[in-house]
A and B are shown apart, each in its own frame.
Chain A
Amino acid sequence: GQNIDQPTEMTATEGAIVQINCTYQTSGFNGLFWYQQHAGEAPTFLSYNVLDGLEEKGRFSSFLSRSKGYSYLLLKELQMKDSASYLCAVRDGDYKLSFGAGTTVTVRA
């Protein structure tokens, strides 16, 4: 089976930066996704990495190191609306998506 680990919870202050780490061990690799999920809602796509390095998209950036089986999602200039769960997902060799349990981020004023 696939193994995807990320912290359960993180708390940060409005305006600060938070980094959510994700480590994975999967049968093959065809890309890593980050999704945001607000309570009671569906996950929505944030970012996709397939090559090593940093992908920047506004206040959100995602990094991938395939040799280390490691990714992180960086949230800058935190806003209250960023309080949500962040899901790390890896597309394996069969092109199936496996999800981590999610990291709940709480932004405090």
Chain B
Amino acid sequence: TAGITQAPTSQILAAGRSMTLRCTQDMRHNAMYWYRQDLGLGLRLIHYSNTAGTTGKGEVPDGYSVSRANTDDFPLTLASAVPSQTSVYFCASTPSSGATDTQYFGPGTRLTVL
């Protein structure tokens, strides 16, 4: 069972370059999320999607964009990377956006912006 996959596993990116982090789930979950995790700050929500075709902003959306063309894929794009975007990025999904649904996390992408 694949669950949630993310690519790449890690990446070093020059400042000013663009990059898309990929996230795919095979559980037919409706809701998907992107978080960044920084030491001492915990996981912070960047963007989310409650269902295919819809997206919303989280706590730290600036500098990031997302799309949700279908149920399975939820790519995160950095249009012009800056060093402060150095972080570990986790994609997550839940069956729906309801209260009791547990979030399942992908393995993460470690991004370094120089």
> B48 contacts A31, CB within 8 Å?
no
Q: Chain A interface residue count: which class?
A: 20 to 34
> A43 contacts B102, CB within 8 Å?
no
> Which among B33, B42, B44, B102 is the interface contact of A102 at CB below 8 angstroms?
B42
Interface residue A19 (Cβ < 8 Å from any Cβ of B): no
Are A99 and B43 also in contact (CB < 8 A) when A43-B90, A50-B99 are? yes
A103 CB → nearest B CB, Å: 10
A1-37 with Cβ < 8 A to chain B: 1, 4, 30-31, 33
Interface residue A76 (Cβ < 8 Å from any Cβ of B): no
Interface residue B100 (Cβ < 8 Å from any Cβ of A): yes
Which residues of B have CB within 8 Å of A33? 102-103
Which residues of A have CB within 8 Å of B59? 1, 98
Interface residue B113 (Cβ < 8 Å from any Cβ of A): no
> Which among B42, B100, B107 is the interface contact of A99 at CB below 8 angstroms?
B42
Interface residue B87 (Cβ < 8 Å from any Cβ of A): no
- Distance, CA A17 to CA B48, complexed state (A): 37
B90 CB → nearest A CB, Å: 6
Which residues of A have CB within 8 Å of B43? 43, 87, 89, 99
Interface residue A97 (Cβ < 8 Å from any Cβ of B): yes
> A42 contacts B42, CB within 8 Å?
no
B56-85 with Cβ < 8 A to chain A: 58-59
Q: List 18 A-B contacts (CB under 8 A).
A: A41-B107, A42-B106, A42-B107, A42-B108, A43-B90, A43-B105, A44-B105, A45-B104, A48-B102, A50-B100, A87-B42, A89-B43, A91-B99, A97-B45, A98-B59, A99-B43, A99-B44, A101-B40
Query: Other than the known A43-B105, A95-B99, A101-B41, what 15 A-B pairs have Cβ atoms closer than 8 Å?
Result: A30-B99, A31-B99, A45-B102, A45-B103, A87-B43, A89-B43, A91-B99, A95-B97, A96-B58, A97-B45, A97-B103, A98-B59, A100-B42, A101-B42, A102-B42
Listed from nearest, the 10 A-B pairs whose CB atoms lie closest are A42-B105, A30-B99, A101-B42, A99-B43, A99-B42, A45-B102, A43-B105, A42-B107, A95-B97, A31-B99
